[in-house]
Amino acid sequence: MSLHVGDIITFERTFTIEDVELFTRISGDEGTHHTTPDEQGRLVIQGLLTATLPTKVGGDNNVLARSMNYEFLRPVFTGDKILCEVTIDKYEKQDHNRISIAASFLCTNQNEKQVLIGNFTGIILNDRNE
């Protein structure tokens, strides 16, 4: 798949308690807000677990990240449906096998409240890109 400047890639994800428990074990981020449910039975998602949403787009497109900037605007809870929109801001061929890419992203919850914004840059090494 060849990307173009202005392309917007979207997807949704709802994090589960199991997702948070697994990420807690992997990351060691064991804050009580990640391990003790609130009065509604929800856990707060780790910020870096939420940040896996825009990195999925990078992974789907073979991006080797150079920089990532995140601004966490409000908590994300288990059961929240998060929509991630990634906009391709730069997509430039550097040589026959290397593309420079920059993108910005916005993640909103099911109430259309912004939860995460930021951007990333990287390169794509792939002979199949045109």
pLDDT tens digit sequence for 43-74: 999 999 999 999 998 889 899 999 999 999 99
Residue 100 and residue 128: Cα distance in Å, rounded? 15
Q: Is residue 103 part of a domain?
A: yes
Where in the sequence is the domain holding 94, given as residue range(s)?
A: 8-15+44-125
Q: 3-state class of 48 per DSSP?
A: helix
Q: Is residue 36 part of a domain?
A: no
Per DSSP, what are the bridge partners of residue 118? 70, 105
Q: Residue 1: what pLDDT?
A: 56
Q: Is residue 100 part of a domain?
A: yes
Give the number of domains in the chain. Answer: 1
CB 112, CB 96: distance < 8 Å: no
Q: Residue 128: what pLDDT?
A: 54
Q: Is residue 28 part of a domain?
A: no
pLDDT digits (tens, 9 = 90+) for 104-123: 999 999 999 999 999 999 99
Q: Is residue 80 part of a domain?
A: yes
Q: Is residue 105 part of a domain?
A: yes
Q: Is residue 116 part of a domain?
A: yes
Domain CATH number, residue 115:
3.10.129.10
CB 29, CB 84: distance < 8 Å: no
pTM, two decimals, is: 0.89
Q: Residue 106: what pLDDT?
A: 98
Q: Residue 2: what pLDDT?
A: 82
